[in-house]
A and B are shown apart, each in its own frame.
Chain A
Amino acid sequence: TQLLEQSPQFLSIQEGENLTVYCNSSSVFSSLQWYRQEPGEGPVLLVTVVTGGEVKKLKRLTFQFGDARKDSSLHITAAQPGDTGLYLCAGEGEKLVFGKGTKLTVNP
Chain B
Amino acid sequence: GNSVTQMEGPVTLSEEAFLTINCTYTATGYPSLFWYVQYPGEGLQLLLKATKADDKGSNKGFEATYRKETTSFHLEKGSVQVSDSAVYFCALSTGNQFYFGTGTSLTVIP
Q: Is chain B found bound to chain A in the same assembly?
A: no
| Residue positions of A touching B, CB distance < 8 A | none
